[in-house]
Structure 1
Amino acid sequence: MSGRRHPAPSRRALLGAGLGAAVIGVAGAGSAHASPAAFAQARAHAFLTAAMDAYPDHGTTRLAQSYADQAGLFSTAFTYDNALAILAFIAARTTGGRDRAVALGDALLYAQAHDPVHDDGRLRQGYNVGPYTFYDGSRQPDGFVRADATVNVGTQFGFTGTAVGDMAWAGIALSALAGRTGKRRFLEGAVRIGEWIERNGRTDEPLGGYKFGVDGGNQKLPFTSTEHNTDLVCLFGRLARLTRDRVWLERRARAREFVERMWETDGGFFYTGTNDGVNINTSPIPEDTQTWTWLALGSRAHAGSLDWAARELAVFDHAGRRNSTVPAGQSYEGVTFGSASLLANEDAPIADSQPKPDRNGVWFEGTAHLALALRERRGGRGDEARARRLIGSVERAQDLLGGGQTVGGRVLPERAGVVSASSPLDTGFGFGYYPYRHVGATAWYLMAATRFNPLRA
């Protein structure tokens, strides 16, 4: 890492450096023959490595910090982001990548087994992985594993609930590790997740499917999400294949039926879900329900959702826009989070102490979703050409946005890691995305660049 003096690396840091060194070594050896894409991917892996190794004095069992420090979430490690990091490391197909994926997978298993309250296979929305001082001046002194051996749940931000989607992605990552390593512990962890979802999410409401999950007080949430049920199509399908237990096929069919009920034939897109299990929410319409459905279902009858997303959610961000934070001379294309993002109030901040949104802010994670889905669809030269253009926009963002940011107080490797958005954008769901380097966006970029579909059962 440049720009700072650091103490001599610990044994864990040396052992953990495998992937970044290996990937950069491949790109660097005979650099005249290395492609720009190889360098971009190497830098992305260097960011994931830095996010994972940010707190070397707090034990070898660790998760990756989700965002650069500048995002203001301190050492928060979201379960979803870490599941994606596992999948991106697997996609690298290197020994170093596999070792890092295994380390993160074992950390998720540790969280399952050492929750401070529950012993039922659940994972929380987020954890703390390093010490910090909160906004009110209170100290959070621990790493991921506390002195009493329990995991450090993200209570100060309220990241204590358990969402079916987060659980599903963790299960997808663990099942991928089970398939790649043959280690039974990962399959057992994925099965525990699937069983928790069956017990806590299954609903007999008219629209069916699996509901959202529970809040921090363990109260069931009333919503049912298209995105979550899409994730379950993959997870339950994998569990059926790996366990050879047909009960997972019935559960997979139930999740898929819900997703297909959300299809709007006239518009050629998927709705976001339902609040009450009876009435479909018709607005807002998010991007991920259009792209993940293709990645999980591969249904030609619903392939038009990609065209809807590419057309209706397309954005182009540049310095001339009213609330853009893109530097002069730069521009980025891609898609935004959803239909509500295009209607955001540009006169008011997204939340207290946050900047005003740019309706044309590019959501780089979603842009990578779309690029990968277009590559998977293979609908002719147009799909691949558009995907390459979108990936190029993400790679340019990695090169030029988010400079000087840190994780755990340490300056990140130069031009390493994709920011979540080109400019502040309002999702329309009560939160925003900002130009901070992000594990989730970086992992999705790597999967799109390497044509690795994480939702293929």
Structure 2
Amino acid sequence: MSGTARQHLTRRALLGAGTATAVLSVVGAGSAVAAGRTPKAAVRAGARARGYVFLDAAMDAYPEHGTTRLAQSYTDQAGLFSTAFTYDNALAVLAYLAQPGHAARARAMALGDALLYAQTHDPQHDDGRLRQAYNVGPYVYYDGSPQPDGFVRADGTVNIGTQFGFTGTAVGDMAWAGIALAALADRTGADRFLSSAVRIGEWVEANARTDQPLGGYKFGVDGSGAKLPYSATEHNIDLTALFGRLARLTGERVWLERRARAEAFVHRMWDATGGFFYTGTNDGVTVNTSPVPEDTQTWSYLTLRERRHAGSLDWACAHLRVTDTADRPNSTVPAGQSYEGVTFSSASLVADESAPIAPYQPRPDRNGVWFEGTAHLALALRERAQPGDARRAARLLDSLEQAQDRLGQGQTVGGRALPEGSGVVSASSPLDTGFGFGYYPYRHTGATAWYLMAIARANPLRGH
């Protein structure tokens, strides 16, 4: 699995197994099987419950390493060991907040406190930053070197992801963590979460604001602290949502000015002729017109809810739609199965299927479904609610639930077997994003969290 690990170098109260098994015995192990004789609402409720079973398992994978913990992002088979991406954990917080009940809120608060702990116990910095990812359990790296610690090291510092180089700080990751912490503050009234979210916002303002012609905020810093030169539409969408939340929760007008700056950048990325948003800029002067990603189309609507730009969802439906079937040359979908949804970007559709995505990687399937993006789109369509949107969203949710039932079987987290039918894989088959990395059919905290928010109609980007 070392090849799988290498592809990511370029990217972007404990429950026991008995409890998870009991939940499955109630809701049913496979909604696809039950769908023929069970009302749709019951099938969907069972699928939702099994999504939370997976999040619980990812969060509780290393109980011997303490209760201050983050959730492992991918199953062990992905080759990233115990890596916990900040972005994925922010999504898990928001997904737990979308689930009624004290137990779900307690889990959301536990993850929020872990993000806060990471912010205040970084081994090198005390300026409010979070890293791209952390280690949350022990493993032996591919070169034979041991990584023996959990999320919190013996000296009290957090265990940053040095083995894979996940030590930089991206504005998008920071924004999502801030959104999650602000949502916790809103839900619980706990000042510590709001203070932590404000520190994130201040870090972004101090380290990423730019006065280049296209404006907005830049990408962040690498592991050495060097500022990265490009600006992403996605990140400025995230900041628009974060700064709006902070304005409402703090009552401070400065956050409205910062929100307006980020939003203005997003508007500059709009292509009125094509009806979509570009990905950003490499130099702050020229718009980067290719590839065109899915997330800028859906997150822009979820954040701004603008009629004049609502056609970005139609663009995603029309131009990024894919159906993955077992008879495709590079598909890993089992025989007799097919999945529909959207892919990552316009470049994914023209990827070279004769060559690996990256060294040591499999060849991509141009029709591989990106399930995280499929969930973004389902939620955005449900929220827009124009004629035909409900039907399209329902088909996407059906595909996500079939994927949870059938793909990624036999996978583990922290060496422990997952209950079957729990957790959504990141992609139906290996897919090339067009941005230097790929997605693969491994159960994923982020994809599962987005599915759960789509089911609940819980828009994480409209907290202002």
State the TM-score, normalizing by the size of structure 2.
0.93
Q: In structure 1, what is the equivalent of residue 7 of structure 2? A: none
Asked whether 1:147 is paired with 2:136, we answer no
Asked whether 1:68 is paired with 2:75, we answer yes
Asked whether 1:430 is paired with 2:436, we answer yes
Give matches, 1:290-369, under 5 Å. 290-369=297-376
3-state SS of the aligned residue for 2:98?
A: helix
Instruction: Output one character per residue of 1:359-383: Cα deviation in whole Å (capped at 9) or x when no partner.
Output: 0000000000000000010112x00
Counterpart amino acid of residue 446 in structure 2: G
- Preserved CA contact (<8 Å) 1:17 1:49: no
3-state SS of the aligned residue for 2:84?
A: strand
Pick aligned residue for 1:455 from 439, 457, 461? 461
Q: In structure 1, what is the equivalent of residue 188 of structure 2? A: 181
Asked whether 1:420 is paired with 2:426, we answer yes
- Preserved CA contact (<8 Å) 2:131 2:168: yes
- Preserved CA contact (<8 Å) 1:19 1:94: no
Instruction: Output one character per residue of 1:279-300: Cα deviation in whole Å (capped at 9) or x when no partner.
Output: 0000000000000000000000
Asked whether 1:171 is paired with 2:171, we answer no
Identity of aligned residues (%): 75
Counterpart amino acid of residue 14 in structure 2: A
State the TM-score, normalizing by the size of structure 1.
0.94
- Give the 3 Å change call, closer, same or farther, for CA 146–165 of structure 1 in structure 2: same
Q: In structure 1, what is the equivalent of residue 267 of structure 2? A: 260
Pick aligned residue for 2:54 from 30, 34, 47? 47
3-state SS of the aligned residue for 2:341?
A: strand
Q: In structure 1, what is the equivalent of residue 31 of structure 2? A: none
Counterpart amino acid of residue 446 in structure 1: L
- Give the 3 Å change call, closer, same or farther, for CA 98–277 of structure 1 in structure 2: same
Q: In structure 2, what is the equivalent of residue 159 of structure 1? A: 166
Instruction: Output one character per residue of 1:320-342: Cα deviation in whole Å (capped at 9) or x when no partner.
Output: 10100000000000000000000
3-state SS of the aligned residue for 1:92?
A: coil
Q: In structure 1, what is the equivalent of residue 8 of structure 2? A: none
Tell me how far apart the structure 2 counterparts of residues 406 and 262 of structure 1 sit (CA, whole Å): 41
The two structures, once aligned, show a CA RMSD in angstroms of 1.7
- Preserved CA contact (<8 Å) 1:48 1:64: yes
3-state SS of the aligned residue for 1:245?
A: coil
Q: In structure 2, what is the equivalent of residue 446 of structure 1? A: 452
Asked whether 1:211 is paired with 2:206, we answer no
Tell me how far apart the structure 1 counterparts of residues 180 and 401 of structure 2 sit (CA, whole Å): 25
Asked whether 1:82 is paired with 2:89, we answer yes
Counterpart amino acid of residue 374 in structure 2: T
Pick aligned residue for 1:96 from 90, 103, 111? 103
Query: 1:391, CA displacement in angstroms?
Result: 0.5
Tell me how far apart the structure 2 counterparts of residues 299 and 231 of structure 1 sit (CA, whole Å): 16
Tell me how far apart the structure 2 counterparts of residues 374 and 395 of structure 1 sit (CA, whole Å): 17
Instruction: Output one character per residue of 1:25-72: Cα deviation in whole Å (capped at 9) or x when no partner.
Output: 9858xx978700011001100000000000010011000000000000
3-state SS of the aligned residue for 1:430?
A: coil
Q: In structure 2, what is the equivalent of residue 398 of structure 1? A: 404
- Give the 3 Å change call, closer, same or farther, for CA 229–181 of structure 1 in structure 2: same
Tell me how far apart the structure 2 counterparts of residues 379 and 18 of structure 1 sit (CA, whole Å): 44
Q: In structure 2, what is the equivalent of residue 133 of structure 1? A: 140
Counterpart amino acid of residue 267 in structure 2: E
Query: 1:118, CA displacement in angstroms?
Result: 0.3
Tell me how far apart the structure 1 counterparts of residues 162 and 304 of structure 2 sit (CA, whole Å): 36
Tell me how far apart the structure 2 counterparts of residues 21 and 174 of structure 1 sit (CA, whole Å): 31
Counterpart amino acid of residue 124 in structure 1: R
- Preserved CA contact (<8 Å) 1:322 1:358: yes
- Give the 3 Å change call, closer, same or farther, for CA 291–158 of structure 1 in structure 2: same
Counterpart amino acid of residue 443 in structure 2: R
Tell me how far apart the structure 2 counterparts of residues 93 and 251 of structure 1 sit (CA, whole Å): 33
Pick aligned residue for 2:385 from 356, 378, 397? 378
- Preserved CA contact (<8 Å) 2:21 2:419: no
- Preserved CA contact (<8 Å) 2:73 2:88: yes
- Preserved CA contact (<8 Å) 1:20 1:42: no
Counterpart amino acid of residue 384 in structure 1: A
Tell me how far apart the structure 1 counterparts of residues 303 and 384 of structure 2 sit (CA, whole Å): 12
Query: 1:95, CA displacement in angstroms?
Result: 1.0
Counterpart amino acid of residue 234 in structure 1: A
Query: 1:24, CA displacement in angstroms?
Result: 6.2
Counterpart amino acid of residue 293 in structure 1: S
Tell me how far apart the structure 2 counterparts of residues 437 and 348 of structure 1 sit (CA, whole Å): 24
Pick aligned residue for 1:289 from 296, 300, 311? 296
4+ runs deviating over 6 angstroms: 16-26, 31-34
Query: 1:354, CA displacement in angstroms?
Result: 1.2
Tell me how far apart the structure 2 counterparts of residues 21 and 206 of structure 1 sit (CA, whole Å): 56
Counterpart amino acid of residue 423 in structure 1: S
Instruction: Output one character per residue of 1:273-318: Cα deviation in whole Å (capped at 9) or x when no partner.
Output: 0000000000000000000000000000000000000000000000
3-state SS of the aligned residue for 2:89?
A: helix
Tell me how far apart the structure 2 counterparts of residues 27 and 436 of structure 1 sit (CA, whole Å): 23
Tell me how far apart the structure 1 counterparts of residues 288 and 198 of structure 2 sit (CA, whole Å): 31
Tell me how far apart the structure 2 counterparts of residues 85 and 106 of structure 1 sit (CA, whole Å): 13
Counterpart amino acid of residue 68 in structure 1: T
Query: 1:13, CA displacement in angstroms?
Result: 2.2
- Preserved CA contact (<8 Å) 1:313 1:339: yes
- Preserved CA contact (<8 Å) 1:162 1:214: yes
Query: 1:23, CA displacement in angstroms?
Result: 7.1
More moved, 84-93 vs 19-28:
19-28
- Give the 3 Å change call, closer, same or farther, for CA 174–18 of structure 1 in structure 2: farther
Consecutive unaligned residues of structure 2, counting only runs of 5 or more, are 1-12, 29-33
Instruction: Output one character per residue of 1:256-276: Cα deviation in whole Å (capped at 9) or x when no partner.
Output: 000000000000000000000
3-state SS of the aligned residue for 1:332?
A: strand
